[in-house]
Amino acid sequence: MNAKALLVLAALSIIAAALFATPAQGKKMSDPLNVSFKPLTKPREAWKGQVSPEAYAVLFEEGTERAGSCALLHEKREGTFICAACYLPLFVNHTKFESGTGWPSFNDPIPGRLATKTDYKIGYPRTEYHCARCGGHQGHVFEDGPPPTGLRYCNNGVSMRFIPKGEPLPALRD
């Protein structure tokens, strides 16, 4: 292979790498669907200085905020809802709907962003969901949502932050 062909091949490799690269963790990103991450092993207590006491009680003690108390309940702008602890994008605005419950509700999370477990705290089984990266409690999922999923992800507003479209997503927080 001659030098000219090697140069062309090298240039094409660099262009392909730039086009198809996944954003690195810790860099600001604008596409919530294209954020790579690894689950954190950070102890729950370590989050106390990084989130408000109200957010800590919900995220890491699995509490519930009072219905109707969150400004995100009425958020209607285009944008992304991220975990209030680690900033992982969880939902995009077009999956949010008015459920009448008093908590922000969504019918479809960003794929791979939530982990679930069965919760028996009120005497019967419910599906509880958490941020797949930091383990922060977000809410419960029910089978009474709108099409196309039929699911209602009932989220504590204090467990999330909203980033309007056009603003860069913050770097994932460790």
Domain ranges of the chain: 3-164
Against a cut of 0.75, is the pTM above it? Answer: yes
In this predicted structure, the answer to whether residue 3 has a pLDDT above a threshold of 90 is: no
The pLDDT confidence band at residue 8, using thresholds 50, 70 and 90, is: very low
Catalytic residues: 154
pLDDT band at 20; cut points 50, 70, 90: very low
**What is the CATH code of the structural domain delimited by 3-164?**
2.170.150.20
Distance (Å) of CA 3 to CA 7, 44, 150: 6, 56, 59
Q: Give residue 2's pLDDT.
A: 54
Question: Which residues is 79 bridged to in the sheet?
Answer: 164
The answer to whether residues 107 and 145 touch, using CB atoms and an 8 Å cutoff, is yes
User: What is the Cα–Cα distance from 80 to 14, expressed in whole angstroms?
Assistant: 31
Tell me the pLDDT tens digit for each residue of 112-151: 999 999 988 888 899 999 999 999 999 999 999 999 999 9
pLDDT digits (tens, 9 = 90+) for 67-109: 999 989 999 999 999 999 999 999 999 999 999 999 999 999 9
pLDDT of residue 34: 83
* Strand 137-142, strand 152-155: pairing: antiparallel
Cβ neighbors of 127 (< 8 A, separation 6 or more) are: 116, 117, 118, 119, 140, 141, 142
> Hunting for tokens 């941020």 — which residue is that?
131
Q: How many CA atoms are closer than 13 Å to the CA of 170, on its beta-carbon side?
A: 15
Residue 1 has pLDDT above 90, yes or no: no
Q: Please give the single-letter amino acid code of residue 71.
A: A
Tens digit of pLDDT for each residue in 29-49?
Answer: 567 888 889 999 999 999 999
Predicted confidence band of residue 167 (pLDDT cuts 50, 70, 90):
very high
106 with 97: CB under 8 angstroms? yes
Q: What is the pLDDT of residue 162?
A: 98
**H/E element holding 126?**
strand 126-131
**For residue 106, what are the CA distances in angstroms to 30, 49, 151?**
21, 29, 8
At residue 117, the pLDDT reads 92
